[in-house]
Amino acid sequence: MKKSKVLFYYLLCGVMFVFSCSSTQEKIYVQDGEIGDVEIEGLKKNPKGYLYSDGDFYLRAKDAVFGDDILIKIKLLLDGSEEYIDITALDNSLQLYRDKNIETENGVNQMRLIGPSIPKTVYLGSIGDYIKPDTPFEIVISYRNRHLEYEINGKKIYSERAQIVPSGMVMLFGSGDIEIYDIICKGKIKPIEKFYNKKFLLERAQRSVEITAELVKDDPNRPAFHFLPPARWNNDPNGLLYYKGYYHLFYQLGPYADFWSWVNWIYWGHARSKDLVYWEHLPIALWPSFEKGENICFSGGGFIKDDGEPILFYTSIGHRNPEIWAALPLDDELKDWKKHPSNPILTMDIHGGLYIEDWRDPFLFEEGGNVYMVVGGHPKGGEGSVYMYEALNPELTKWKFVGIPFTGEGYTWEVPNLFKLEDKYVLIYSPISKVRYYVGNMDFEEVKFIPEYHGVVDNGPDWSFYAPHTLQKEDGKRILLGWISGFKEGQGWAGAISLPRELSIDGKGRLIQRPIKELTKLRENHNSLTNITLKGSSGKRVKIDFPQFEMILKVANQGTKGIGFRFNDENQNPFKIIIQPDMLQFGEEKIKVDPPLSSDIQTVHLFFDHTVIEMFINGGLLCATKVVYPSMDDFDFEIFSPQGEVTITAIDVWQMKSIW
């Protein structure tokens, strides 16, 4: 064959190959209840021949749809009175609730739309506005000419230009009496392992956060001197490291919504700081490896190996038992990461037949030249426990299960931290309620933690402060950071990280938490008052025009049983905070202090950051965090006595600068 003909032949083959790989095709995943190329759990054929669920169910296509000419039709029926279903197509999720026990920010029985192509959560009204009870309905999703549309039974419910191209798998999951008839897609098709790759997933997640960040950057409710992502959802701080002059903070990031959801694929966000005060956002670090059966990168810890290189450990979640995976950096700035080639590092098999429920959140520490890992969980029907493992090689890829050092109250313990502080060991855990701690001793030979004192890390409302993670600073001091929650849904962002707290133990074995001294560099515009007597609820107004300040209040030691703060909330209603040795009150909510203070109120160190309040009482013996939405126009902050006469010897107030 002549050279020109050979060249033409290969060019023609190349064109045909490209055309065949990228041409639009129809894919039938389910038709009349018959399944095609999908994975299912909790679904079966009912007597009428359709796919049916009467409980939890899951359906996922084995490939992805992409391109600029996509049409997806889904026909199903909600057959009961209490269902929840999430319809994820092109990686955007239409969530339907019909359950009196499930309430979104905008009420019960709502529909909402989230995803990379949806910059802010879209609320679509009640299910009853579109769907008749026990009647099949059809959802049509289309994407053409950069326009994304949703229809239910021919009625358009969403139509917007998409800044991020919608593309990805089709997945349905939920709970209730549901029949699934048809799922038919038209578009370009790729196997999941060819479509979902590190580059695509990280770039899309990063772009989603950046687009929403432009919409929320001027929101006056966003904290200014607490760390939070540029936009979208965050929860637990993870993998704290000090490496080459920087403190690295990783955190649970949901890049596609402002609330936690299984389809708000959880990644690891990343930031760094030289002083734990001013932070710099870095590219998203970890992503879920869908091609390996991973859906979510749950919490975990970081560690510096013997060779001086960092390593991250986290909980890999998919439709299998949880596994402990690791990741390694590809550069000295820790901006680029790769999944460890030895993954999974730990599986349930390491326990020799012992099955652990809610097994997650590895934390690493070193003792006596050995590296240990603790992971939270509980036996089936049992109490929350800490499980311990010992590394068998310097690369930290081989481990052995050494035992259960401690078991206590609560059905599961999340994010356990076990570390040495002064001459004691401290165990901190999050039992799906207030974060708790034990101070005691650790017997490594017997693999037994011996508690001496038990307390609450933060006495704010449940979940207002949760899942803290600790780090040993360069100077040897132990620092704690926690997740602050309680923000409104629908803002385009939710979640913040607490101010760094320095930990110590007092003479009675109690955990003391104080804000790190480096925060003083944020102070400006100082104002002070001295020798103020408060009588009853009349109060003393403190001139603070905007809720972005630090206050230190000292009380004369004469039997002070309480201090109160009052300001206007966003609805111009008075909101009060009352601090007493055995009780805290936020608005109308009263919270028992556990254990109660053995002395009167002596000092209150308060940080007010737009919607976040953190308080350190009596030198950090009692701490409390709360999210509140104050009035930005008429703040009207004042101090009062909830009981009897109180003399305040000094009040110091500083306006606080932004950390950005």
- Tens-place pLDDT, residues 295-351: 999 999 999 999 999 999 999 999 889 999 999 999 999 999 999 999 999 999 999
> Which pLDDT tens digit goes with each residue over 241-295?
999 999 999 999 999 999 998 888 999 999 999 999 999 999 999 999 998 989 9
Nearest Cα residue to 356 out of 333, 380, 339, 340: 380
Pick the CATH number of 23-193 from 3.30.465.10, 2.30.30.40, 2.60.120.560, 2.60.40.420: 2.60.120.560
Tally of CB atoms within 10 A around 201: 21
User: 333 with 283: CB under 8 angstroms?
Assistant: no
Confidence class for position 357, pLDDT limits 50, 70, 90: very high
pLDDT of residue 609: 99
The full DSSP string for 430-484 is E-SSS-EEEEEEEETTTTEEEEEEEEES--SSTTTEEEEEEEE-TTS-EEEEEEE
> Which pLDDT tens digit goes with each residue over 535-558?
877 889 898 888 899 999 999 876
> Which pLDDT tens digit goes with each residue over 167-197?
999 999 999 999 999 999 999 999 998 999 9
Structural domain 196-515, CATH architecture: 5 Propeller (2.115)
Nearest Cα residue to 542 out of 655, 657, 651, 656: 651
338 burial level (CB within 10 Å; 0-12, 13-18, 19+) = exposed
Taking 70 as the threshold, does the pLDDT of residue 14 lie above it? no
**Full-model pTM:** 0.94
CATH fold of 522-656 reads Jelly Rolls (2.60.120)
Nearest Cα residue to 458 out of 437, 442, 434: 434
The domains spanning 23-193 and 522-656 adopt the same CATH topology: yes
Nearest Cα residue to 609 out of 629, 586, 584: 629
Beta-bridge partner residues of 414: 430
User: 189 with 27: CB under 8 angstroms?
Assistant: yes
> Which pLDDT tens digit goes with each residue over 133-164?
789 999 999 999 999 999 999 999 999 999 99
Nearest Cα residue to 386 out of 353, 352, 413: 413
588 burial level (CB within 10 Å; 0-12, 13-18, 19+) = exposed
pLDDT of residue 109: 62
Domain ranges of the chain: 23-193, 196-515, 522-656
Confidence class for position 529, pLDDT limits 50, 70, 90: very high
Tally of CB atoms within 10 A around 394: 11
Nearest Cα residue to 357 out of 432, 456, 439, 262: 432
Q: How far is CA 628 from CA 496, 566, 571, 584, 614, in A?
A: 13, 12, 12, 15, 11
> How confident is the prediction for the chain on average, in pLDDT?
93
Q: What's the angle, vertex CA 484, arms to CA 479 and CA 489, rounded to 5?
A: 160
Amino acid (1-letter code) at residue 388: M
- Give the chain's count of helices (H) and strands (E): 3, 50
pLDDT of residue 559: 66
Confidence class for position 560, pLDDT limits 50, 70, 90: confident
Whole-number Å distance between alpha carbons of 233 and 414? 19
The full DSSP string for 477-508 is -EEEEEEE--PPTTSSEE-EEPPPEEEEE-TT
